[in-house]
Amino acid sequence: MNERADVIVIGGGIVGTTTAFFLSRRKRSVILLERGLTGQQASGVNFGGVRRQGRALSQLAMSNRALETWRRSRELLGEDVEFLPSGHTRVCYHAHDADYFHRYAADARAYGLDLEVIEGAAMFRRFPFLGRDVLAASSSALDGHANPRLAAPAFGRAAGRLGASIVENAEVLRVEKEAGGFRVECAGGRIYRSGQVLICAGAWANALSTQLGEPVPLVARGPQMAVTEPVPYVFKWSMGVYTSVKEESVYFRQIPRGNIVLGGGAPRPADAATRRASVLPANTVAQMAQFRRMVPALGALHVIRVWSGVESYLPDSEPVIGPSSKVDGLFYAFGFSGSGFQIGPGVGETLAELLDTGSTPIDLAPFSIARFQRTAPGRTESATSEISS
Amino acid sequence: MAANVVVIGAGPAGVRAAQALVEAGVRPVVIDEGRRDGGQIYRRQPDGFTRSYETLYGTEAGRAKALHRDFDALRTRIDYLPETLVWNIEPNAVHVASGTRHRKIAFDALIICSGATDRLMPVPGWHHAGAYSLGGAQVALKSQGCAIGARTVMMGAGPLLYLVAAQYVKAGATVSAVLDTSTLADRVRALPQLLAMPSTLKKGVALMNVLRRAGVPVHRGVTPVAIEGTAQEGVTSVRVKDANGATLHVPCDAVALGYHLRSETQLADLAGCEFRFDRALRQWLPATDQDGRSSVRGIYLAGDGVRVRGADAAERAGRLAALAALKDAGIAHVGAAADITRLRAQLHRFTRFAAGLRTAFPWPARFAAALPDETVVCRCEAITAGELRRVVNEMGAKEANRAKAFSRVGMGRCQGRFCAHAGAEVIAAEARIPLEAVGRLRGQAPVKPLPMALASQQSEKETTA
């Protein structure tokens, strides 16, 4: 086995696999170390929204890049990850949220995201199935959804075909800087070496960044997902509620085979140590009431399965992306706070560019890990201890 | 007697568990999916039906009558929730749905008596209308007095194969053939263990006599080839190879399938109980001690839902699990010590007999490797053996949950209850790894489809549209 490469990527989620993919296309040698299987955690259990709408404006450049990759995914991967650009619509119940829709649409236009906000009769004509509490709808025609269970593993396999070494069941215990690069030690004593390291280990990233002197207040939480039995394909738009009331914040998408994927409401703590998270039964029931409010016809369906997984959240809900502020050659991408799936391939492409050439036109300053050293000096607790408290 | 005890299931195990609890002064909550008590085996007919115990339960009429009578006597001393589904479990609480009403019920001890369903092996064409499980065929008869078809074929292996065929014959239905995949040699090999329960063995022989007198063709050692039919007509015939390799073609309009039973273990899984792989049975089962204590404190498992040993054993295991729960809670039960000793000894014999049944009616694991690629494995999601093999070979999915994520096998409304065993065999055969290495599908709520009209009884506030 090749135990030395230009880059070691730690974590085989959507960011890790796409970074490995784009680095391999740039002819850089890559070893990707994944503790379990690729795309098994947050990247595999999320809603599957391929949504630019609603992101912080600072994310939109990478998000647009990502959309290009999603659109070309079949050609790039040689297989189908069920990307469906059928549009994404946000709706709201409160007047101040409707006002925000208009403001966001105006702001986002400058970043290449075109949104249409409609209200009242026009909205009910286009979306006759919406509940009467809904005040406004904001639609992004080019967004859509994809199958999260397939995407990251497919990018991983594609990277492997281009020469990357994708090592599954390899748990990284220690990352150390040594002369000429990095030494990465895995459980079982396997040692890997490289000139650069990318830590994109989701909820487990803090354990590694802490070793390198950059602890972050990362918290693991589990999304609360569900799916219905298959019914005729009628909901082309992926839809969600925008609200500051956490319980109201539900979203759904229907796949052409008929099942409707549901999610949202209050997330719950997850346990990074056991790598498992579950759906709170009360959340399932609360979600159902919110779905009946949003689309009353959904009340006639059945939920056939619920699931969760381990996602990583940061206090400002923005990810860490970019170079370490302390160690040369070290890079991070984690803490996507429930919004990493769509942007993942854009982050991967951007990091591949940055690691390969030393620069990227995309402004990564808002995502610097240094922002937590300013606000939380000396903070060293692990994600696990924060969850259990 | 402050202990909150919840019993799930009102079949033989659940009823006997509730009875032992009541004897000790505990008022348990008994939750059951059925409209009436009795479970699957002693299912009570709907109101207005007037068949006698002898007609409904045959040689088991006395046991059925006793169980129903004893449950009726408990009714004022338990909180009985019929037509209620336990759809999720949290530490110390179950979540139930009754119609569209949701409730959370707290417990200190939980006794899960979830019973069993048919263990199924796919056969080409089993997705056609008119293909049922043997258990399903039996429910139609017991509950509604209906046969699944005018000319039926019973196919598979196990005690239920002959029992259902004989019950159909007695009810006046036409059984065109009994196609048994097990052989006489299997049965001879099992005889020493089957002699642990000579009276039960005799009942089995009596069922064969019913079929012989009725002139029902019985073929042993067959290999299923296909259930033939069309989308419009449903099942039209069954094709098998007989023991000599000759093709046998049996016209029919319905077929019932099954290879003995599999435990309904999803609730134990949701409760976090540890599972172990049983090599002889080729399946994962919750681990318990001899009295039914699971690996999780306060969770007890009894009856066919933890280990298929039949209804008589389930009655004893239910009582034993309740006595264990009482003992652990420090609640006195007069005569418990002697009872426990006696029940353990009796269950030992049932365990031996169950091992004999396993030998006599083996699970045909080898059929999985031979399934044509176009055979549907997961009927809920319409996923074929070929697609499952593709994710094993091309996507490296050799673990059950990984293969599910890529292929959707086990992702539908049954959540793998009917396809997971066969799916795991297909994966193991294709990947050339031991079945144990394939693992098992992780349980996910809800145990059965849950209406989205569900509303909590505790707080009804909801905006109407």
Q: Check pLDDT > 90 for residue A377.
A: no
User: Considering the domain boundaries, does residue B136 fall inside one?
Assistant: yes
A305 touches chain B (CB under 8 A): yes
Tell me: do B224 and B292 sit in the same domain.
no
Shortest Cα–Cα distance, B58 to chain A (Å): 37
If asked whether residues B173 and B219 sit together in one domain, one would say yes
Task: Say what the pLDDT of residue B456 is.
Answer: 87
Average pLDDT over residues B282-301: 97
pLDDT tens digits, B347-393: 999 999 999 999 999 999 999 999 999 999 999 999 999 999 999 99
- Using CA coordinates, name the residue in chain B closest to A303: B450
Q: Are residues A155 and A275 in the same domain?
A: no
Average pLDDT across chain B, whole number: 95
Q: How confident is the model at residue A379 (pLDDT cuts 50, 70, 90)?
A: very low
Residue after which a domain boundary falls, among B302, B337, B357: B357
pLDDT at B25 over 70: yes
| B407 CB within 8 Å of a chain A CB | no
Residues 6+ apart with CB under 8 A from B130: B148, B149, B229, B234, B235, B253, B254, B255
**Does residue B345 surpass a pLDDT of 90?**
yes
Output the pLDDT for position B206.
92
B244 closest CA partner among B221, B227, B216, B226: B221
Closest to B338 in 3D by CA, of B328, B323, B353, B348: B323
pLDDT band at A375 (very low <50, low <70, confident <90, very high): low
A130 and A201, same domain (yes or no): no
Interval A317-342: pLDDT, tens? 999 999 999 999 999 999 999 999 99
Last residue of a domain, one of A274, A308, A342: A308
Question: Which amino acid would we find at residue B175?
Answer: V
Q: What strands lie across the sheet with B79-81, from one edge to the other?
A: B79-81, B29-31, B5-8, B109-112, B299-301
Please state the domain count of chain B: 3
> Which segment of A348-352, B140-144, B395-399 scores lowest on mean pLDDT?
B140-144
**Structural domain harbouring B269:** 5-117+262-357
Q: Are residues A241 and A282 in the same domain?
A: yes
**Residue B78 located in a structural domain:** yes
Q: What's the mean pLDDT in B272-285? A: 96
CATH of the domain at B210: 3.50.50.60
C-alpha–C-alpha distance, residues A190 and A169, integer Å:
12
* Residue B461 pLDDT exceeds 60: no
Cβ–Cβ under 8 Å, residues B100 and B454: yes
Predicted confidence (pLDDT) per residue in A89-119, tens digit: 999 999 999 999 999 999 999 999 999 999 9
Closest Cα of chain A to B6: distance in Å?
18
Query: How far is the C-alpha of B146 from the C-alpha of B158, rounded, in Å?
Result: 22
Residue at B38 is within a domain: yes
Per-residue pLDDT tens digits for B67-96: 999 999 999 999 999 999 999 999 999 999
* Alpha-carbon span B359 to B157, nearest angstrom: 11
The predicted complex's ipTM stands at 0.93
> Which residues in chain B have their CB less than 8 angstroms from residue A298's CB?
452
Name residues whose C-beta falls within 8 Å of residue B396's C-beta, 6 or more positions apart in sequence.
none
Quick one: pLDDT at residue B329? 96
Domain final residue pick, A269, A288, A308:
A308
pLDDT band at A271 (very low <50, low <70, confident <90, very high): confident
Residues A320, A304 share a domain: no
Find the distance separating the first CA and the last CA of chain B, reported in whole Å.
46
Is residue B112 within 8 A of residue B267, CB to CB? The reply is yes
Question: What local confidence, expressed as pLDDT, does residue A13 receive?
Answer: 98
B295 touches A: beta carbon within 8 Å:
no
Q: Which of B357, B380, B410 is the last residue of a domain?
A: B357
My answer on whether A232 and A378 are in the same domain is no
Contact A304 B412 (CB under 8 A): yes
Q: How confident is the model at residue A381 (pLDDT cuts 50, 70, 90)?
A: very low
Nearest to A302 among B395, B452, B456 (CB): B452
B105 and B226 belong to one structural domain = no
- Say yes or no to pLDDT of A43 above 60: yes
Question: Please, which pLDDT band fits residue A277 given cuts at 50, 70 and 90?
Answer: confident
pLDDT band at B457 (very low <50, low <70, confident <90, very high): confident
The tally of domains found in chain A comes to 2
Which chain B residue shows the shortest CA-CA distance from A131? B465
A271 and A250 in a common domain: yes
| Residues in chain A closer than 8 A to B402 (CB atoms) | 37, 40
pLDDT digits (tens, 9 = 90+) for A188-234: 999 999 999 999 999 999 999 999 999 999 999 999 999 999 999 99
Name the band, by pLDDT with cuts 50, 70 and 90, for residue B458: low
Task: Assess if residue B373 is contained within a domain.
Answer: yes
Picking from A183-187, B47-51, B135-139, which range would have the lowest pLDDT averaged per residue?
B47-51
Q: What is the pLDDT of residue A276?
A: 77
Q: Is there a contact between A51 and A342 (Cβ–Cβ < 8 Å)?
A: yes
Chain B hits for A133, Cβ within 8 Å: 463, 465
Q: Is residue B456 part of a domain?
A: no
Locate A333 and state its tokens. Answer: 């991408």
- Are residues B179 and B242 located together in one domain of the fold? yes
| Rounded-to-integer distance, Cα A142 and Cα A64, Å | 10
Nearest to A306 among B399, B444, B454 (CB): B444
pLDDT of A382 strictly over 70: no
Q: Are residue B269 and residue B298 in the same domain, yes or no?
A: yes
H or E element: which one contains A290?
helix A281-294
How much is the average pLDDT of B132-154?
A: 95
> Same structural domain for residues B51 and B88?
yes
Reported confidence tier of residue B464, pLDDT bands at 50, 70, 90: very low
Instruction: Inform me whether the pLDDT recorded for A376 exceeds 80.
Output: no
Write down the pLDDT at residue B459: 46
Q: What pLDDT does residue B2 have?
A: 61
Does B266 lie in the same domain as B206? no
The whole-number pLDDT of residue A278 equals 86
Which chain A residue's Cα is nearest to B101? Answer: A285
The dihedrals phi and psi of B213, each to the nearest 5 degrees, come to -60, -35
pTM (two decimals)? 0.94
Residues of A in contact with B399 (CB under 8 A): 37
Same domain, A157 and A254: no
Q: Average the pLDDT over each of B17-21, B293-297, B412-416, B458-462 and give the range with the smallest value.
A: B458-462
A364 and A330 in a common domain: yes
Q: What is the pLDDT of residue B201?
A: 87
Note whether B455 contacts A289, CB cutoff 8 Å.
yes
Indicate which CATH number applies to the domain containing A268: 3.30.9.10
Same domain as B124, residue B107: no
Provide the pLDDT for residue B463: 34
Asked whether residue B253 falls in the same domain as residue B329, the answer is no
pLDDT at position B291 is: 98
pLDDT at A274: 76
Residues A118 and A238 in one domain: yes
CATH of the domain at A168: 3.50.50.60
Same domain? B199 vs B221:
yes
Mean pLDDT for A350-359 is: 98
Q: What is the pLDDT of residue A273?
A: 77
- Picking from B357, B382, B399, the residue at the C-terminal end of a domain is B357
Two structure tokens written together for B303: 């009856």
Taking each helix axis as running N to C, give the angle between helix B420-431 and helix B385-394, from 0 to 180 degrees, rounded to the nearest 10: 40
* Contact criterion met (CB < 8 Å) for B454 and A288: yes
Last residue of a domain, one of A308, A332, A350: A308
Same domain, B245 and B126: yes
Domain CATH code at residue B414: 1.10.10.1100
B106 near A CB under 8 A: no
Helix (H) or strand (E) holding A117: strand A116-119
Chain B residues whose CB is inside 8 A of the A131 CB are 463, 465
A41: containing domain: 4-48+149-216+315-388
Phi and psi angles of residue A311, each rounded to the nearest 5 degrees, phi first: -110, 160
Is A293 inside any structural domain? Answer: yes
In this structure, the answer to whether residues A320 and A339 fall within a common structural domain is yes
CA distance B28 to chain A (A): 23
Same domain, B136 and B248: yes
